[in-house]
Amino acid sequence: MRVKAEYLNKIEIQWIQAAEQETARVLVVSGVHGNEPQSMKGTRLLSEYLSNPENELVTEILEGTTVVTVPLINIIGEMADARSCPEEAVEVEFRDSTVIVQDDEKGMYKFPSGWCDANAGWDTNGTLVKEHIARLIEMIAPTLIIFNHDWTLTQGKIYAYGPEVYDIPDIEMILKCFYPTSNILGIEWKFIDIIGPDFLNFTLPFILANELGIPVLLTEVCVGEDRSPEITLAVNLFILAMYSGAQIGDETVVNRILRSLNHDGKWWTR
């Protein structure tokens, strides 16, 4: 049947707040592209991880920082297994809990009519994803936004938008724990790209950083690897630990994160 897209457009917001004196609010969003399941899974792992008060790193992070996660913001894209997202007034074909689009309209080159890439063109972007993000910003007033994506080749990467994020030291350190420092051609891999205001770039994170003044970090994990959700988790934890100034005794934050990933399916309890 044909239904208005807005009837399917319900997002799940997880609000993780323990701080008595809140100094920072971090909004973590994944699934801007509906066909990126690994970073969505990684964001869900983050919520679970941050829900364990027995973990010292968790209590340190949450002492002054509230974390709000939205693991899947492009609900309809995910139902269609498509990268793009419909605009508000669009009707979609809904059948057995899925949204039907043509196979050749699922990727980055061709979109169904009335759909577009939610990460591109803030001014021309009328997608439901953009509406959610605008509302979330109003509601949460985040001091930092993290967007988690899949799909980088061949190694993980972080894109940094906005002046404040330049000050987070050695952010690429955590990615170097998972990926080789050179790519398959033997060329040194750049783990972080700083997208300054002079770039010709009209993506969603760029506009948020340069027009609304909210610093943004966008993470990408390597496509098609089983460990990608855990890498998303590790990178997010590292960013949150650095950003909140977490102190965990003599152990380094990197070691603490890696130790908690070294598990039998129960890493979050350690």
CA angle 104, 108, 110 (to 5 degrees): 45
Shortest Cβ 27–Zn ion spacing (Å) = 17
Distance between CA atoms of 152 and 118, rounded to whole angstroms?
A: 18
Shortest Cβ 261–Zn ion spacing (Å) = 23
Shortest Cβ 207–Zn ion spacing (Å) = 16
Distance between CA atoms of 185 and 162, rounded to whole angstroms?
A: 31
Tokens of 12: 């799940």
3-class SS of residue 259: helix
Distance between CA atoms of 93 and 124, rounded to whole angstroms?
A: 24
Stretch that binds Zn ion, among 5-13, 30-38, 89-97, 152-160 (CB under 5 A): 30-38
Distance between CA atoms of 244 and 177, rounded to whole angstroms?
A: 21
Q: Does 33 bind Zn ion (CB under 5 A)?
A: yes
Q: Does 149 bind Zn ion (CB under 5 A)?
A: yes
Stretch that binds Zn ion, among 127-135, 141-149, 199-207, 230-238 (CB under 5 A): 141-149
Q: Are the C-beta atoms of 149 and 228 separated by less than 8 Å? A: no
Size of interface with Zn ion, in residues (CB under 5 A)? 2
Q: Does 106 bind Zn ion (CB under 5 A)?
A: no
Q: Does 157 bind Zn ion (CB under 5 A)?
A: no
Cβ closest to Zn ion, residue 25 vs residue 149: 149
Q: Applying CB under 5 A, which residues contact Zn ion?
A: 33, 149
